Amino acid sequence: ITSSKLLTLILVLNEKEQKILLGMKKRGFGVGKINGFGGKVEAGETIEEGARRELLEEAEIEAIDMTKVGVNMFTFENDPVGLEVHIYVTKEFKGTPTETEEMKPEWYSYSDIPYSQMWADDKVWIPLLLNNTRFMGHYHFSQDQATVLYEKLNVNIHD
Ligand code: 6U4
Ligand code: NA
Ligand code: NA
């Protein structure tokens, strides 16, 4: 690995109803997968500002709270560029989740998360996130992005 791109991923939770907001990605990287909202951090913005912007762009909601809960590094077979993904949880927001050009948002019960339609790493760390456990992970994917060839996970990391 020689460098990494900086990205965000935001999971919106309704704790009272035990539901998580996910979106079907309609274009670009990870198209067809169900995932949290997020994308590349742009020049001149902080990571958290990037997370807020992506949530607004992709689901049309404005985060009231935004808490960093983990960082995942994703690398790929035969690719020197990794993805450093900073993961945030939002529990309160303004607006109504709305379908956009990039994502189709939908609420899922904590007990019915569609892991088979998500990135293979999600089943590892989403349960930690729902349990308020902070984490840092590295997942190395096969070239076709379907299989995790190697993973390393640290939990209870510090702020
Ligand atoms: P464009 O299309 O240029 O506007 P942008 O929205 O900036 O792109 P995008 O959508 O390519 O970025 O970002 C990829 C998103 O996918 C980020 O939120 C991070 C997320 N992601 C990448 N690999 C992932 C993985 N293995 N597991 C996961 N999310 C992943 O849960
Ligand atoms: Na995105
Ligand atoms: Na985006």
Residue 38 alpha carbon, nearest atom of ligand 1: 18
Ligand nearest the Cα atom of residue 73:
1
Using CB distances shorter than 6 Å, the residues near ligand 1 are 7-9, 28-30, 35, 38-40, 74, 83, 85, 119, 121-122
- Measured in Å, residue 18 CA sits from the centre of ligand 1 at 24
Specify the pLDDT at position 1. 60
Residue 2 has pLDDT above 80, yes or no: no
pLDDT (0 to 100) of residue 146: 94
State how far the Cα of 23 lies from the Cα of 37, in Å rounded to an integer: 7
pLDDT in tens, 106-141: 999 999 999 999 999 999 999 999 999 999 999 999
Please give the Cα distance from 123 to 15 (Å, whole number): 19
The backbone torsions φ and ψ at residue 54, rounded to the nearest 5 degrees and listed phi first, read -65, -40
Structure-block tokens of residue 80: 């020197």
Distance CA(9)–CA(95), nearest Å, equals: 19
CA–centroid distance, 57 to ligand 3, in Å, is 7
Phi, psi of 55 (to 5 degrees): -65, -40
Residue 159 has pLDDT above 90, yes or no: no
Q: Which ligand is nearest to the CA of 40?
A: 1
The answer to whether the pTM exceeds 0.95 is yes
Enter the DSSP assignment of 46.
-
Whole-number pLDDT of residue 28 = 95
Q: Which residue has the tokens 């450093």?
A: 84
